[in-house]
């Protein structure tokens, strides 16, 4: 960032260093609440109408200093979402929306999938939700449970198996 660069903002003269400093402060404010992906920070800075060059410099600064790391963000996001519990499919979809590259998503999903007992989680959810379906017919129960599990990002095979197995008991 050139030190002596000056720009007009409205009727006042603003140095590029001041604009860069404001962009960094805003990015730090966002990161104070939770980790964010590079895409999220870029979008928020764009929404605040920062120059493309300032945004690029801010992102480079944050990455260089270790405040912005998409892989670390993806790992943290996956862990937090799997605790809700959501399925791996939904976590992958959310990471894609957050701007994480496919390679990182694949790595993080594989690591999380190795530790995440999806079948057990789905079975626990089905057991818990079955208690609320007293007096409902089997078709309605299956339909509602299946839809719920799919919206939470669980695999259709795992959902179907768990629902059928627990309804037979």
What is the tens place of the pLDDT at every residue in 75-86? 999 999 999 999
pLDDT higher than 90, residue 159: yes
More confident residue, 135 or 64: 64
- pLDDT, one tens digit per residue, over 108-118 is 999 998 999 99
- pLDDT, one tens digit per residue, over 15-32 is 788 899 999 999 999 999
Burial of 22 (0-12, 13-18, 19+ CB in 10 A): middle
Overall pTM surpassing 0.85 (yes/no): no
pLDDT of residue 136: 86
Domain boundaries, the chain: 6-64, 70-115, 118-168
More confident residue, 98 or 135: 98
Q: Which of 58, 41, 60, 51 is nearest to 8 (CA)?
A: 51
Q: Which of 10, 30, 28, 12 is nearest to 20 (CA)?
A: 28
pLDDT of residue 9: 53
pLDDT higher than 60, residue 38: yes
């Amino acid at each position: 960032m050139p030190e002596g660069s000056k720009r007009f903002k409205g009727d006042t003269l603003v140095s590029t260093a001041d604009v860069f400093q404001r962009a960094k402060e805003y990015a730090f404010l966002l990161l104070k609440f939770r980790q964010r992906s590079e895409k999220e920070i870029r979008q928020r800075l764009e929404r605040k109408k920062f120059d493309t060059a300032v945004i690029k410099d801010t992102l480079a600064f944050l990455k260089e200093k270790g405040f912005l790391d998409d892989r670390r963000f993806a790992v943290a996001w996956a862990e937090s979402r799997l605790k809700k519990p959501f399925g791996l499919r939904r976590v992958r979809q959310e990471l894609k929306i957050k701007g994480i590259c496919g390679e990182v998503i694949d790595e993080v999903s594989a690591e999380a999938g190795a530790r995440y007992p999806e079948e057990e989680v789905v079975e626990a959810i089905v057991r818990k939700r079955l208690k609320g379906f007293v007096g409902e017919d089997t078709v309605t129960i299956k339909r509602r449970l299946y839809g719920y599990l799919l919206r939470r990002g669980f695999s259709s095979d795992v959902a179907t198996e768990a629902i059928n197995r627990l309804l037979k008991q």
